[in-house]
Amino acid sequence: TINLPGTVEKIGNYAFKGTSLSGSLYLPNSLKSIGVGAFDSLKLTGTLTIPDSVTTISSEAFYNNKFTKLVISQNSSLTTIGNNVFRNNQISNAIALPKSVTTVGNNAFRDNSISKLALNYGLKSIGSEAFESNKITGTINIPVTVEKIDAQAFRSNQIEAVIFNKNSALTTLGSYAFANNKISNAIMMPKGLTKISSYVFSNNTISSLSFEEGSVATVIERNAFSDQAKSIKGTLEIPASVTSINFWAFTGALNVESLTFGKNSKLITLGEAVFTNNIIKKVVIPSSLVTVGSGGQGGAFTNAGIEELIFEENSHLETIATRAFQINKISSVVIPKSVKTISFNAFGNNTIKNLSFEAGSVLTTIGEQAFSLNELTTEGLGKLPSTLTSLGTNAFSVNVGLTQITLTSPTDIEGWPDGGTVVYYGKLAKIVYER
């Protein structure tokens, strides 16, 4: 047992490191600071009580011991908990940070068995992996004073709810911050976040998602809300400030009535598989969007359960990429006049009965199987734009009611001779040019 005398005010850096101490530790009420690695990698056990007089605990001070309980009084003077301070112990009790604490360092409480956690008003910074890999349950209420939560801060616990309050000072929420928990409440993302980091809430079961009015977020990074077992319900509106949503951001997360984007949205790009494997009954594509993306894992809206697809007026959309809207339940589409390219299988395997193109269309390319496996008829397929120069030979395959395809290009498109036919799985469709 280590029982330090009541005159000690400071324990210096690495004071006891390298010894074989394995009993209990009693710190005196005279103590003010504990240096770097002071009790690093010993075998100290039992309860560790931090005296109220201590203001600073430096990095690695109690790293890699066997403490089972940590006591910090609400009357504590402690302001800073350094990096790795309590990491890799066996602390299993509930922790309530005292009101004096402003900073919790990187890995400060990582790899313990903390059962519950209360954060204090006045806290400003939570370091990366600060509480990762514990057994924290219940609700984490983020005080409005917190400005920064770094990567993986609460990853891999059993947290059931996270609350961000209005007018929060939070500007940084790092990647994986709350990943791999059991969070099931409604989440409101604070307006001061400039980005929504990758995997920040992945692998939870959030019930609904919203963004505080006045959000300044410009990007939603990869997998930010992925793998929610389609638990996010209601409606989802992406803030107008967002310019890009990166791949897999909402994969397997949504079961919503509608997906919309804020008024005067600045969205330019939707990445690969952003909204795949969801249920989104209605989607309104903002006029600012230039590209609906795709990639090896699928298009932006592949298998998204879409029934109604609307493009805002005055659309700037130029490219509908490979598999962008493949495998949905879309029954009617009006292609904006700004679209230049509709790529391979972009609308394949839907229930499209009516397809038309806005007047003044500049469309040049429709790729292979772009509208295959739909329910188009001759009456339901509008005249293809005169600007079209490339048309995949299977672009309209397996639309059993389609017996005539009308083109308006000034010269015959390769593979589409005037008066000829195309064969779709034994079905013939006549090619007609109206010039």
Q: What is the 3-state secondary structure (H, E, C) of 193-260?
A: CCEECCCCCCCCCCCEEEECCCCCCCEECCCCCCCCCCCEEEEEEECCCCCEECCCCCCCCEEEEEEE
Distance between first and last Cα of the chain: 97
3-state secondary structure of 322: coil
113 to 156, 157, 160, 292, 337: CA distances (angstroms): 11, 9, 16, 44, 59
The percentage of the chain sitting over the pLDDT mark of 90, rounded to a whole number, equals: 95
Q: In this structure, what token pair is assigned to residue 86?
A: 């309590």
Average pLDDT over residues 63-83: 97
Amino acid letter for position 128: S
| Centroid of chain to Cα 262 | 18
Average pLDDT over residues 139-148: 98
Amino acid letter for position 159: I
State pLDDT tens for residues 6-22. 999 999 999 999 999 99
Strand partners, 338: none
State pLDDT tens for residues 340-380. 999 999 999 999 999 999 999 999 999 999 999 999 999 99
pTM of the shown model = 0.94
Beta-carbon contacts of 379 under 8 Å, excluding residues fewer than 6 positions away, are: none
Q: What average pLDDT does the chain have?
A: 96
Rounded-to-integer distance, Cα 261 and Cα 324, Å: 18
* Amino acid 1: pLDDT: 85
Among 88, 86, 89, smallest CA distance to 97 is for 86
What is the band of 428 on the pLDDT scale with cuts at 50, 70, 90?
Answer: confident
Rounded-to-integer distance, Cα 16 and Cα 204, Å: 42
- Positive or negative: CA dihedral 131, 133, 136, 141: positive
Q: Are 116 and 141 in contact (CB under 8 A)?
A: no
* Residue 277 region by backbone torsions, left for phi larger than 0, else alpha for psi between -120 and 50, else beta: left
Strand partners, 354: 332
* Amino acid 294: pLDDT: 85
Q: Are 61 and 80 in contact (CB under 8 A)?
A: no
Among 116, 79, 115, smallest CA distance to 99 is for 79
Rounded-to-integer distance, Cα 109 and Cα 189, Å: 25
Q: Is the pLDDT of residue 52 over 70?
A: yes
Average pLDDT over residues 217-243: 97
Rounded-to-integer distance, Cα 347 and Cα 326, Å: 5
State pLDDT tens for residues 398-416. 998 999 999 999 999 999 9
12 to 49, 58, 79: CA distances (angstroms): 18, 10, 18
Q: Are 150 and 126 in contact (CB under 8 A)?
A: yes
| Centroid of chain to Cα 70 | 34
Strand partners, 311: 285
Rounded-to-integer distance, Cα 59 and Cα 304, Å: 47
Q: Is the pLDDT of residue 152 over 90?
A: yes
